[in-house]
Chains A and B, each alone.
Chain A
Amino acid sequence: MNVKGKVIKYGDNVDTDVIIPARYLNTSDPAELARHCMEDLDKTFVSRVNKGDILVAGKNFGCGSSREHAPIAIKASGISCVIAETFARIFFRNAINIGLPILECPEAARDISEGDEVSVDFTTGVITNITKGKQYTAAPFPEFMQEIIAAGGLVGYIRKQLA
C-alpha cells in the first residue's frame, strides 16, 4: 500500500483538543468533524488540505483526552497518513482502530518541510521525500496492521475476517 501527497507540518504536542475542539463533539459524523479539524491550531487547514496530503508533526502527537473523534476528523479531512516523531498512546491505538495510517519516524519528522512532496510505502516503511530527494525508514506495519488500515479500521477488518 502506498500513498503520496503534499506535506502540512506542525510542531510538538499537538493535542486532541486542537485536532477537534470539544465543542464539536456532539456529532460523530466524520464529514462534520472534518469541517473543524485543526481549527484551534490552524484556521487555514480546512481550506488548504487536499485529498492525499500527508501530515507531519513533532513529538507526542495526539496527546490529551482520549477521543476517537480526533483521528476520525483527520482521516475525513483527506489526510492519507500522519508521520510524527512520536504519538501519544491512546491516539496511536485510536488511529489504527479507525483506519488512519500513522508512522513514527523521528528522522523524517524533523527533516521533511511544509509543502514537500512525500510518498510512503507501508509495506516497507520507506518514506521518500521527492522534493528533497531523500529517503527515511520507519518500522513497517506488520501485515495484519496493513489489513486493518486497508479495511478502513478494526471493525471493517474483523467483519471481513469473520465473513
Chain B
Amino acid sequence: MGMTMTQKILADHAGLDKVTAGQLIKARLDMVLGNDITTPVAVDEFKKIGADRVFDVNKIAIVPDHFTPNKDIKSAQQVKYIREFAKQMGIVNFFEVGQMGVEHALLPEKGLVVCGDVVIGADSHTCTYGALGAFSTGVGSTDMAAGMATGEAWFKVPEAMKFVLKGKPGPWVTGKDIILHIIGKIGVDGALYKSMEFTGDGLKWLSMDDRFTIANMAIEAGAKNGIFEVDEKTIEYVKEHSQREYRVFKADEDAEYTDVYEIDLSEVKLTVAFPHLPENTKTIDEIGDIKIDQVVIGSCTNGRIEDMRMAAKVLKGRKVHPDVRCIIIPATQKVWKQAMDEGLFSIFIEAGAAVSTPTCGPCLGGHMGILAQGERAVSTTNRNFVGRMGHPESEIYLASPAVAAASAVAGKIASPDSL
C-alpha cells in the first residue's frame, strides 16, 4: 500500500522508507515557530530542559503578533522576555514590530518554509504552510521547547482524506468560500486527527493566496494538517521567496484515504459561517437581513495582498455604512507596502475604513476592535466561537474579503453583486 503526501514527507524526515497511519515516529524539523503567547511558556520549559543553546539559530521563528504593538504592560513584559531569549540564543528570525506580520502570513513570505518541509508551531494555524506542499501542524509549548532544543519532534502518522477539486470558481468566489463550503459539509470534527490532502484539476484556478486560506482553516475541520499537491504555481512562489532547496513529494497512486470528496468549484457559492461554529455555513442567497456593527478584514486567513485588492475592488467609489466600523489589517509589512503602493489605502480611507499596522488584534479579541454586548461582526478571520472577538454575547460571521467589504457598505451581510 502506498503513502499519502503527508506520510511521504514524514517518512523522509524520520529516515524511514515507509510509514503507515497510526505509527509513532520521530522526525527532523525544518522550522519551529512560536508567538508572543506561546513562546514565553516554551522558554520556561526550554530552561527546565537545561539546554544552553538552540539546535539551529536559523530554523526557529519567533513572531510577536497577537498583542503587538504591545497593548498593555503584561504583553510588553512577555515580549520583552522572549526578545531577550531570542537575543541570547542568537535566533535569527525574531520579527520585531516594524518587520513583523501575522506569523502564518509572514513565514511563507520570508521564504522560511518551502515544499517538503516539516514544521511545528505553537499555534494551531501552523497548518497554513500546507499550501506550499509542506507538512506543518500546531503543537503545544512543551513541544516547541523540545523542538528548539533538539530539532526533532514525535508524531503519530495521520490517516488522510482526499479532496479532489474540479472546475473553475465563479465570480467573487475565493479560497475562503471553498474552505467554508468544505467545513460546512464535513463539520468541525470531520477531519479529526487526519490530513486533508487537496488535489485535482481545479487547483490551477487557485492562487497561492487562495491556497493559504484553505490550508489555514484545515484545523477548523479538526485536521492535523492540510496539504496541497505541488504545481508550477507553488514552485514559482517558493523560488521567488526563498533561496532554500525545496523538495516535491507526491502521493502514491495506491495511497490509502479514509474518504475521497469531489468538490466542483464552479458550484461553490459565496459562503458565510454563522455563529458560533465555522460549520454553521449558509450560502449568500440563504441569508436574510442581518444588520452588522463591524467588519474586520485581515488575519492569517485573509490578510494577504489579494484579499486587500478584493476589498478595494468592492469599496472603490463607495462608502462604509454609517452604522459600521470597518477595520482593515494587512497581515504583514510587505502586504502593507504593496497595498499602499497600489493606491488601495486611498480607496479604503475615502470609503471611511480604518487601516491598522499588522497584528492579530481583533481576531482573538485581543485589541484593535473588540465587540460590545449584542454586537455583530462580519470578519475574514477563521473562528467564530462564543466571545472570540469580545463580549460573550457578541456574534461573528465568517466570510471572504469581498463579502466582508460588501457588508461594510450595505450595513448588513451582503454579496458584492447586490450593491
Contacts and interface: CB of A to CB of B under 8 A. Distances in A.
B195 to A, nearest CB: 12
Interface in B24-46: 24-26, 45
Given A89-B192, A89-B224, A158 B24 contact: no
Looking at chain A's contact residues, the main secondary structure is helix
B146 A142 contact: no
B382 to A, nearest CB: 17
Contacts of A141: 24
Contacts of A90: 140
Given A89-B224, A158-B149, A158-B150, A97 B143 contact: yes
Given A96-B154, A139-B22, A142-B24, A66 B140 contact: yes
Given A142-B25, A144-B154, A145-B154, A93 B49 contact: no
Size bracket, chain B contacts:
20 to 34
Contacts of B326: none
Interface size class of A (residues with CB under 8 A): 20 to 34
Contacts of A145: 24, 154
Contacts of B193: 89
12 contacts: A92-B156, A93-B139, A97-B143, A139-B23, A145-B154, A154-B142, A155-B49, A155-B146, A162-B49, A162-B50, A162-B150, A163-B50
A66 B25 CA distance: 22
Contacts of A144: 26, 154
B89 to A, nearest CB: 15
Nearest to B25: A142
B353 interface: no
Interface of B: 22-26, 45, 48-51, 139-140, 142-143, 145-146, 149-150, 154, 156, 192-193, 224
Nearest to B50: A159
Contact of A158 (B23, B51, B192): B51
B365 to A, nearest CB: 17
A96 to B, nearest CB: 7
Interface in A84-105: 89-90, 92-94, 96-98, 104
A142 to B, nearest CB: 5
B8 to A, nearest CB: 19
Interface string A46-58: 0000000000000
A163 B154 CA distance: 20
A158 B150 CA distance: 8
A162 B51 contact: yes
Contacts of A159: 48-50
A68 B22 CA distance: 22
B146 A94 contact: no
A144 B142 CA distance: 17
A46 to B, nearest CB: 26
Contact of B45 (A66, A92, A142, A155): A155
A52 B22 CA distance: 27
A161 interface: yes
A129 B50 CA distance: 41
Given A89-B193, A139-B22, A145-B24, A154 B146 contact: yes
